[in-house]
Structure 1
Amino acid sequence: MILADKIIEERKKNGWSQEELASKLGVSRQAVSKWESSGSIPDLQRILQMSELFGVTTDYLLKDEIEEEPLNEYVETKTIKVSMEEANQYLDMKSRGSRIVANATSLCILSPVPLIVLGTMTEDHALVAFSLVFLLILVAIAVYLFVNYGIRDASMQHLEKEIFETEYDVSGMVRERRNQYESAYIRNIAIGVVLCILSVIPTIMTGVMEADDSISGISVGILLVIVSIGVNILIRAGMIKSSYDTLLQEGEYTKEEKHWKKKTDAFSGAYWCLIVALYLGWSFWTNNWKFTWIIWPVAGGLYAAVLGMVKMTIDGREK
């Protein structure tokens, strides 16, 4: 295997694009492209840099007949090690954080309830204005909780994004705790899903009975209350389960999934910010809060499909 092929192989093995490798080496993307097409040869300094980045010896890169050998010094200094203490700290933080995130999400779901109910029951502008202020207060509290949790969680984010190794018996401890939680996880997921399904019953009943607007507003309020409870349970169960998967590097936290997550994080953030903006803009423009909530299940359904298209696009560019 020639040097050009080895550069391509090691770059893809690390999940880097040509631009990312070029940035790490301090050269242009065109330079990396020329190396990989055998249009030019990197100088000695770049060879040494690539040896450290790829975790291989310079002999492997320069000599065609030598098989790949790990660069031990690189592995020892670069591999993240997770101790038993750090693993327990992470699991405890995620357990507490699951309550914070779940409650903040429930506040967001519940925030328009007074506005919907009062908006359909009365034309008193003072009450409607009060309910709007109440909505903004609940959203502000939710944002505070999200930001506060995000700052505290930042110190452990590397476990969800980077590849690591665990010290002796850490994996065994995590598997044991996950097995103990398995029955509670299944039960909570089932309860949360059932509540979300049953939440539409009030609105169906009011539609069948052709109830007036005030009753319809109340039914939507009940729907959101039930959904907030169901989502709260789902988030708590999901975050605790994902904390075990993170430390075991399983499920959504395998090495391959972490590679994709790094590349799609920006898209995910932009997507949900856009959905929030559309929801608030549509709701305030039409003042039809009892209907605009439909944007959330639609956005959730589209997310997986759009994310798949983004992955295909990224994969095509890297090739």
Structure 2
Amino acid sequence: MRLGQKIAALHKKNHLFQEALAEKMNVSRQAVSQWESEQSIPDIEKIVALSELFGVTTDYLLKSGSPSFELNHKDNNLTEELPILSDQQEQGYLTAAQKSASLRALAISLIIRSPAILCFSTALAIMLDLGNLTIQLTGCRKIMNKYATLYWLIAVLLYLGYSFITNDWERSWIIWPIAGILYGIIEKIISLCHNDIAAE
């Protein structure tokens, strides 16, 4: 179907005479008649107004073929009820989104880098603790290796649990640096305790 045929079919389907359609479009009846007979083409504003009036897309009016979908007039009323945001509200939202994006990027970066940092710090600790060229696990190291997997698994579960329950992904990344610092403190305490026991 061509544009003129679609306009004619739609106004008949919606029980509108040419006069009523012309009145709604703020044009003369002759203009509507010329659109239908394809002697003239409505301008873009009229095409948009026709699509809203008949509840079809502008694509349907302008392209040949059947509509990909039809708009529901009830849905059109919903758009009228949506609040209009001020420039200040829009700017506030964009600022908050930008700030949130930078925090998320930092969190993801820390999550990705944390295993590498952990491996590096463990390797550095081993190298500093070497009394000779052979690496021997001390009692402290054995204890830490035994519970390290469980410790980091609990940290992951805490992070995911808190993040999903509160949906506060912007702040939940702080669990990782806290867990890393805590791990170092626990390792040092166990090391000191083990040295005291060994000294006795």
TM-score by length of 1: 0.26
Indicate the structure whose relative CO is greater, using CA pairs within 8 Å and at least 6 residues apart: 1
TM-score by length of 2: 0.38
